[in-house]
Structures are given as C-alpha cells and as structure tokens.
Amino acid sequence: MPKRYTITAALPYTNGPIHIGHLAGVYVPADIYTRYLRLTGNDVAFICGSDEHGVPITIKAKKEGVSPQDIVDKYHSIIKTSFEDFGISFDNYSRTSAKIHHDTASEFFKTLYDNNEFVEEISEQLYDAEANQFLADRFVVGTCPKCGNEESYGDQCENCGTSHNATDLINPKSAITGNVPTLKETKHWFLPLNKHEQFLKDWILKGHKKDWKPNVYGQVKSWIDDGLRPRAVTRDLDWGIPVPVEGGEGKVLYVWFDAPIGYISATKEWAAREGKNWEDYWKNDDTKLVHFIGKDNIVFHCIIFPAMLKAEGSYILPENVPANEFLNLEGNKLSTSKNWAVWLPDYLVDFPNQQDVLRYALTANAPETKDNDFTWKDFQARNNNELVAIFGNFINRVVVLTNKYYDGEVPTPSDYNAIDDDTIAALKAYPAVISSSIERYRFREASQELMNLARLGNKYLADEEPWKTIKTDEERTKTVMFTALQIASSLAVLSEPFLPFTSAKLKNILGHAQLESEPNWKMASEQLLLPAHHKIGKGELLFSKIEDTQIQEQLDKLEASKKANALAHKAVEPQKEEITFDDFSKLDIRVGTILEAEKMPKTKKLLVLKVDTGIDTRTIVSGIAESFKPEAIIGKRVTVLVNLAPRALRGVESQGMILMTEDSNGNLVFVNPDNKEVADGLKIS
C-alpha cells in the first residue's frame, strides 16, 4: 500500500563544504531510502536545507572579516550545487536564513511560550568581559563533565556526544580571548526536558522504538536514565532568529531550537510551490517521519526535538531515526579544521561523471553499526573489482552480444531448462530481498544484494556460454540471451536507488522508455521486463577502471594536509636576542630581479644566480636547487641582502643573500615584493 513519508536529512552547517563523512553518514542512505520509496509508489517529501545560524558562523565571519550573511551565502551555494551534482534528490533544499523559516520558528516559539511550556529564568551565565560577550556553545571550551574530554564545547562534547549547559563545563575558557570567564546574570527561556521525561520514557523505552538501531536506542536510553534537565533555548547573540517575546531584545533562539524546525519550514516552502498541503506531511498520523542524521545529532532528534513537537501538540513524532556512526579517512578521524577530508566539490572535479562510484563505495562500506574507515584503495577496488568487473562486464557482454547476434532485437526464447527456471526464479526474488534490507535501513547489505544480482548474471553467461552455443545451437543461444537481457533489465530498475546515474544510462541503452509500460520495482518481482522483438540500443561504458595514478594523487593530497598540519603545530622558533635600531639599519635590503639561474656543477643544493639589484647586476650563490628549477625562477622578484660580506662557494664568489621563507607545506618560497610597481633597488626598511 502506498504511504506518505516525510524524510529529513540533517541540515548541513554552512561553515564549509560537504565531505565524505556527511555523505556516508546521512545523505547517501537518505537518498537511497527516498528513491526506493518513490520507486515503490509512495508519496514522499525529501527535505533538507542549510543550517545558517549558530556561533561557528559568527566566529568564521569575524576571522575572515566579512558578515555572517556572506559566510552562509557562500557555503549555501557551494553545498546546494554539490548535492545537485551528486544526485541527492531532495524535493526541497532550503535554508534557515529564509523568511519562511524565521516566521515558522518564531511562531513555534510563541506557541510554546503562550502554552507556558518554557521556564523563564534569570541565571548566571559564563561571560567574557574583555570580548563583552556571553559564552555559550562554541564560544567556550572546557572539560566535559561526563567523559573528561578537555576540548568540549559549551553545548556539546564531540567526544562522548553528551549535550550539556555551558555552566556544566569544568575549567571553562573563552574561545574568543582565552580568558577564564566570569559569571553574569542574564534572562533565558528554558525547555524543561524533565517535564517530558515520562513521555519520552513511554514513547521510546516502553513504546515501539526497540526496532531503532541499537546505537541510537542505547544512547537515548542512557540519556533518559541519567535524568533530564531544563535546557536553555535562547542565547545572548546577535546572529540568529530574534526571540519573539517581551524581554527577548538582543537575544536569539538557540541554533538547535531553530534548526530542526527548518525541516518544517522547508516542507512548507516545497508544499506552497507544488500546490500541496504541508500539514499532511507533519500533522497527519498516517505520515511516517524519518530523520537521517549522524550520531552526533542523536540527542537533538530523539529527545529535544520530539519534546518540542510534543509540547507544541499538533505534530507527529519520528517513526525512526536511523543515525549512522562516523566514517574515518585512511585511519584518522575526519576533520574540517585539519583539512583531513575528501571534499565533495573536489571529488566531482577529480572524478567527473563518477558520482555512482563514490555512492557505491560509501554504501558498501557504510558506518551503519560501527565507525568505519574510508580508504582510497578500497574505493579503487570497489570500482575496479565490482562495478567494472562484475556489473559493467555483465551489461557490456549482454548488450554487445545482442547487437552482434540479433542486431539489437531481443530474441524469442524457446524451451527453458532447469538452470533457466532457477535463474528466473532467483531474479524475481531480488526486489523483495533488496526491499527488505532497505526497509530495515541496512543499505550496505542492500547494495551487496544488488551486486549479487549482477554476479548471478555473470555466472549464468559464463556457464551457458552463448558465444560458444551460437555456433552449435541457435535456439539455445536465443533463450540464454533472452534470459540474460531480463537480468540486465532488472539491474537497471533495482540499481536506481544506489546508482541513479548508471540506472538512467542503462534504462536508456535497454530502451525502457519505449516499452508499453515502463518497468518498475513491482514489475521486476512479477514478470520478465523485456519482451521478444523489443529493440535495444548500442552499448555505452557504464564504469571505467580507476588507475593507480589517480589514487596516488588523492593520497598525495592527504599527505600534503598532514604535512601542513605538522608544520602548523611545529613549535615556532624562539625570538633571537634583542638588537638596536642601529643594528638593523646596518642591513641593506633591496628589491631585485633574478636575470639568470644555473645549477652549480656537481652540487645538489646550489644555484648560481645573476640578480639585478638596482645598484648593479651581481652573482649570488643560493642553496635553493632542491626547491626550484633554474628556468622556473628567471624573472622572479626577490628581496636581497646586498651588503653581506662576499664569500666564495665552490670557487664562485657570492655577493649577497636572497631572503627565503617556508610556505605552509614546508616548501621554500621567496620573500618577494609581488607589486611590479616596486622598482629594483628600492630599500626595504
């Protein structure tokens, strides 16, 4: 029976692009689930959008010297485009800075306020007097009271996932100035989670939520068992949704209060556009609400948001929250700040038209029940050994042979033997097998069943050898090719949730759109999909081999990140002994241009340069040959210490010194005046 679903995917935070951890944890599984629901005839709203409020945005804006709006505009656009290019099929991708969201979140807050669902309290909060700023959320760092992690944020510890109040932190420090905060009185509105404890116990622990994933259920249970306390849902900040009640001046809604309401406002925006009623998707008991999130968001989606929805009173509650664990990269935790990630926009450039390869690699190795590791070698193996060697190879054989033997026309089968019967029975069972895995949120297992179907096809062809029987038994060959074409056709249909780009190509090759009724998931379980005499098209490569050099390039990128990080954390050399101004003014430093450069014979490190110093053209021997090719530096502007006493190096007199430094990767670079208006010979003082 068709059903109505509201599927939400965690709102990505707009302080950076999407990386593979986000994709594996949330967006790829959510997209597989949604595409599957649509294919099986359900009414689905697939909702997401950018989360644009909160402290990290304001911190980043301050750092870059731009406005918070500039930051969110930039990343909203990058994120939205890369999702589209990657084939994540949202019905609506909205943003929390949109007016419809501000209105929806304000209204939600007011309803709870009017229903006396908040506790209003003047309390002492952490305050940084130097920065003139209350310290909530990421403005404060300290020791987690639960696990002892010394870098916990004010609202959440990323190590143990605990959500707490900033005043709970042990040894708090301001993230702005590094100062130890003082306490200052301020008024806030609190959501009394303790008041909803019984409801949450009944709903989750005694209710039917035992079918939630063990990692999700376990975390929620431990939270409830620890006892719930009131949580402040407002903040003393200027970036966010203004608190819409009296006394709320200068305060905004806590980002975790407004963000989940973003699912509702994005649904409203979509429904208005599509001429639908949004309330069907949020207030009708027949609708199933499913939140796809990463494990760091469990508490917000399983405790705080349901408590908010319950307090409001007119909304449905989530049916399931299939949160994934974390994905690591090459054995290390993914990190935006350390640039230890595979960024989606980069992937789309480095591997054009290979979206399905990453979708498949992330699904086949998804962190569904435990943290998992993404390695480029595994990515290459998934492509070369499975997508190319099994799926692609099978399709290629079927299409090439059909064109070769029958000019692209599906042949008419004659008698089926027992092997054909078994193969067709197995084929028709696949839709139910894959459905069952998807409906239990086991996408990894589902992707492997899809590959097993391609294996079935490969084995069938290898056993029946139509390329041999074509010479001896034409009728048998027709039956074999007919059966193989049915497997190819089912693969086209059943691969759509996992490999949407490949599925579209394959449907096109097989001419699905030209059939009387276009094959779908249900038909694949009930009948053979391609009738005799149907004409298929020419082959087209579905997957191509990924070479070692491509993988090495990616590993080199990561190695560069590692180096840059090591360098950033390297102890800075201590300052040298103090000098007088007179000492400094003895140095004669000039702007110059390199005119000639040659390697010093029989040395590794030395280059002999001719440099125009503005005063004269002189010879300088410089130990930079390992970092620069001579021909690459001719014409470079450099800074030269010109009054250094000449000295002979390997018999060549060096008359000065070129000033050098290191870039963030540890490579030598010139200290150079980029401005061409600066004439050679000008003094640097």
What is the contact surface with Zn ion in residues (CB under 5 A)?
Answer: 144, 146-147, 149, 157, 159-160, 162
CB of 299 to Zn ion, least distance (A): 12
Q: Decide whether 2 or 148 has the Cβ nearer to Zn ion.
A: 148
Q: Decide whether 81 or 159 has the Cβ nearer to Zn ion.
A: 159
CB of 141 to Zn ion, least distance (A): 12
Q: Decide whether 169 or 241 has the Cβ nearer to Zn ion.
A: 169
H/E run at residue 190: strand 182-192
Task: Please report the beta strands in 258-360, taking only residues with DSSP state E, as ranges in sequence order.
Answer: 287-292, 327-329, 332-333
Q: Measuring CA to CA, which residue among 523, 518, 513, 528 is closest to residue 479?
A: 528
Cα–Cα distance for residue pair 114/108, rounded to 1 Å: 10
Cα–Cα distance for residue pair 92/643, rounded to 1 Å: 67
CB of 212 to Zn ion, least distance (A): 22
Q: Decide whether 147 or 634 has the Cβ nearer to Zn ion.
A: 147
Q: Decide whether 325 or 612 has the Cβ nearer to Zn ion.
A: 325
H/E run at residue 77: helix 68-86
CB of 162 to Zn ion, least distance (A): 5
Q: Decide whether 149 or 619 has the Cβ nearer to Zn ion.
A: 149
CB of 560 to Zn ion, least distance (A): 32
**Cβ distance 416 to 424 under 8 Å?**
yes
**Cβ distance 491 to 426 under 8 Å?**
no
CB of 296 to Zn ion, least distance (A): 11
CB of 224 to Zn ion, least distance (A): 18
Q: Decide whether 151 or 202 has the Cβ nearer to Zn ion.
A: 151
Q: Decide whether 151 or 473 has the Cβ nearer to Zn ion.
A: 151
**Structure tokens of 440?**
């239990």
CB of 147 to Zn ion, least distance (A): 3
Cα–Cα distance for residue pair 392/13, rounded to 1 Å: 37
Q: Decide whether 88 or 157 has the Cβ nearer to Zn ion.
A: 157
**Structure tokens of 659?**
């000033």
Secondary structure class of 523 (helix, strand, coil)? helix
Integer CA distances (angstroms), 238 to 133, 153, 252, 259, in order: 10, 19, 7, 16
CB of 570 to Zn ion, least distance (A): 29
**Cβ distance 671 to 638 under 8 Å?**
yes
Amino acid at 549: T
Cα–Cα distance for residue pair 75/373, rounded to 1 Å: 26
All residues at 6 or more sequence positions from 227 whose CB lies less than 8 Å from its CB, including other chains: 194, 197
Half-sphere exposure for 137 (CA within 13 Å, toward CB): 19
Give first-to-last CA distance, the chain, whole Å. 81
Cα–Cα distance for residue pair 185/187, rounded to 1 Å: 7
Secondary structure class of 146 (helix, strand, coil)? coil
Cα–Cα distance for residue pair 307/233, rounded to 1 Å: 12
Q: Decide whether 151 or 465 has the Cβ nearer to Zn ion.
A: 151
Give the distance between the most distant pair of CA atoms in the chain. Answer: 103
Q: Which residues pair with 235 in a beta bridge?
A: 252
Q: Decide whether 170 or 462 has the Cβ nearer to Zn ion.
A: 170
Query: Burial, 104: exposed, middle or buried (Cβ in 10 Å; 0-12, 13-18, 19+)?
Result: buried
